[in-house]
């Protein structure tokens, strides 16, 4: 098969690594890719926002499957445009991508189909939103309706913070994405990520994961795109796994089908494990980054037939097998991230790091110049490892990091701490 992967981050490097390992694949391209992806695929300088250009490339190269990594092209309807041109693509169409593209859309679906979530209101003007905040008090959560690059949520611990968030959103801080605002109940509990595949009718679970959003150890400092992750999370017991599938994932897939906009692709549910059971607080319609990296490491089955089954409505009799090991990934970022940082600094020791048992280094933001690997983004590397336990995976990942020579980079040293504390307590 000829496959084209869209995207350029660590998520896409992990996908490229997994797709390239499939015996079904004769050639893999990635647009635009990065220096690590270039080892698995031929990188092409296509503008993925230009759907006509992507279609033209697919036609010229007899592409049989397009795999879409990030959310922006999904929300822009690239899967529909490819389908219209007769090209199969893994990911939801534009309507189904609203599960990520509009918080209000997802809340309405939850209400219609009885999916457990925080109580909420949806507002198109500041006065009504402020009245809701005054009525319900703090803590309360204010969310821009649309895509805001992960920055559109304010968890307000005081009423003043909530009011400021409402004002900021209706003042246009997130442009069109903030023209509507969802305000919801503050959920108390442990937050986990849960991934499932859907072919529009059937959903099958992938795995659970835990990410680490804050930039510094002990969950200090500003939020980021994610500084590390591990899978599985011990807090998703078989019982909770069953509840998430039955109460959240399956009703979502059934609801989307009933509405005539079936969801095909990866459903990534942000779930709070509350005293009343698991509650959904957000959907994403693609793999998480860096959660995808740990999922790909743990997946034993070939991913390509699973993606084809999603596109073709054939998930019903599908099963995905997993390695029993835990996987953990640590993000190495450029000093200064998530604020300003320098590009073009030199990274050495990557081959040395990759030689360690169970270790895989994925590139998130790198370029190659004259044989050297240079940092080219905020999040730059994902140093990943498998281990019999999270403790072992963590030890291996940090041993690999200690072999990487990059004076301008940094990472958290405590990725996986929740599971590590738990494993130590159980001993
Ligand atoms: P989101 O962009 O929806 O993932 O929200 C960003 C972060 O805000 C999440 O990772 C949660 O930590 C937090 N959050 C979102 N919704 C709620 C909620 N209803 N209650 C408490 N925390 C929330």
Give the 3-state secondary structure of residue 368: strand
CA of 144 to the centre of ligand 1 (A): 12
Q: What is the chain's Cα-based Rg? A: 21
> Looking at ligand 1, which residue's alpha carbon is closest to its atom 12?
191
- Using an 8 Å Cβ cutoff, are 366 and 348 in contact? no
Which residues contact ligand 1 via a Cβ below 6 A? 118, 141, 153, 155, 184-187, 191, 270, 281-282
Phi, psi dihedrals of residue 350, rounded to the nearest 5°: -65, -40
**Pair of tokens at residue 292:** 């995808």
State the Cα–Cα distance between residues 278 and 252, nearest whole angstrom. Answer: 14
Q: How far apart are alpha carbons 80 and 51 in whole angstroms? A: 10
Candidate from 122, 155, 214 with most ligand 1 atoms within 8 A of CB, to mutate: 155
CA 167 – CA 297 distance, rounded (Å): 43
E-state strands within 232-322: 264-274, 277-284
Nearest CA to ligand 1 atom 5: 153
One digit per residue, the tens of pLDDT, for the chain of length 427 reads 999 999 999 999 999 999 999 999 999 999 999 999 999 999 999 999 999 999 999 999 999 999 999 999 999 999 999 999 999 999 999 999 999 999 999 999 999 999 999 999 999 999 999 999 999 999 999 999 988 877 889 999 999 999 999 999 998 888 888 789 999 999 999 999 999 999 999 999 999 999 999 999 999 999 899 999 999 999 999 999 999 999 999 999 999 999 999 999 999 999 999 999 999 999 999 999 999 999 999 999 999 999 999 999 999 989 999 999 999 999 999 999 999 999 999 999 999 999 999 999 999 999 999 999 999 999 999 999 999 999 999 999 999 999 999 999 999 999 999 998 988 888 7
Rounded to the nearest 10 degrees, the angle between the axes of helix 390-401 and helix 417-426 is 130
pLDDT at 3: 98
Ligand 1, atom 15, lies closest to the CA of 281
pLDDT of residue 149: 77
Q: pLDDT at position 178, please?
A: 77
C-alpha of residue 281 to centroid of ligand 1, in Å: 6
* Bond preceding residue 232 cis, omega within 30 of 0: yes
The DSSP line for 39-73 is GTSEE----TT-HHHHHHHHHHTT--EEEE-SHHH
Residue with the two structure tokens 């005081």:
158
Q: How far apart are CA 405 and CA 353, in angstroms?
A: 10
Residue labelled with tokens 């130590």:
424
Ligand 1: nearest atom to the Cα of 118: 19
* Atom of ligand 1 minimally distant from the CA of 279: 19
- The predicted structure's pLDDT at residue 426: 84
Q: For residue 283, report the distance from its CA to the centre of ligand 1, in Å.
A: 11
Tell which atom from ligand 1 comes closest to the C-alpha of 186. Answer: 20
What is the sign, positive or negative, of the torsion defined by CA atoms of 277, 283, 287, 293?
negative
């Amino acid at each position: 098969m000829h496959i084209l992967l869209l995207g350029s981050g660590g998520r896409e490097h992990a996908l490229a690594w997994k797709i390239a390992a499939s015996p079904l694949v004769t050639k893999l391209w990635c647009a635009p890719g990065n220096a690590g992806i270039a080892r698995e695929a031929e990188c092409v300088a296509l503008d993925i926002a230009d759907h006509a250009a992507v279609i033209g490339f697919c036609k010229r190269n007899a592409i049989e499957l397009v795999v879409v990594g990030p959310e922006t092209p999904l929300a822009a309807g690239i899967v529909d445009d490819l389908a219209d041109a007769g090209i199969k693509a893994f990911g939801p169409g534009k309507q189904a991508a609203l599960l990520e593209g509009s918080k209000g859309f997802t809340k309405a679906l939850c209400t219609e189909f009885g999916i457990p979530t925080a109580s909420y209101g949806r507002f198109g003007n500041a006065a009504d939103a402020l009245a809701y905040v005054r009525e319900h008090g703090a803590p309360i959560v204010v969310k821009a309706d649309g895509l805001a690059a992960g920055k559109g949520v304010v968890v307000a611990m005081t009423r003043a913070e909530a009011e400021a968030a409402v004002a900021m959103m209706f003042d246009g801080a997130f442009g069109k994405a903030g023209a509507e605002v969802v305000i919801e109940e503050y959920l108390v509990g442990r937050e986990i990520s849960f991934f499932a595949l859907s072919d529009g009718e059937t959903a099958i679970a992938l795995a659970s994961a835990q990410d680490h959003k804050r930039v510094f150890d002990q969950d200090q400092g500003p939020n980021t795109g994610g500084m590390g992750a591990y899978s599985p999370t011990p807090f998703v017991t078989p019982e909770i796994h069953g509840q998430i599938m039955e109460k959240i994932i399956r009703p979502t897939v059934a609801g989307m089908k009933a509405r005539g906009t079936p969801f095909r692709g990866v459903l990534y549910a942000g779930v709070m494990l509350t005293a009343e059971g698991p509650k959904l607080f957000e959907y994403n319609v693609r793999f998480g980054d860096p959660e995808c990296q740990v999922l790909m490491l743990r997946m034993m089955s070939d991913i390509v037939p699973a993606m084809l089954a999603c596109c073709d409505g054939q998930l019903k009799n599908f099963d995905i097998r997993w390695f029993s090991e835990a996987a953990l990934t640590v993000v190495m970022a450029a000093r200064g991230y998530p604020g300003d940082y320098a590009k073009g600094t030199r990274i050495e020791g990557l081959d040395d790091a990759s030689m360690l048992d169970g270790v895989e280094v994925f590139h998130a933001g790198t370029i190659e110049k004259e044989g050297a690997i240079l940092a080219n983004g905020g999040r730059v590397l994902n140093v990943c490892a498998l281990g019999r336990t999270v403790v072992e995976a963590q030890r291996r990942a940090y041993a690999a990091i200690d072999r990487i020579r990059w004076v301008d980079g940094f990472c958290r040293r405590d990725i996986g701490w929740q599971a590590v504390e738990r494993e130590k307590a159980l001993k």
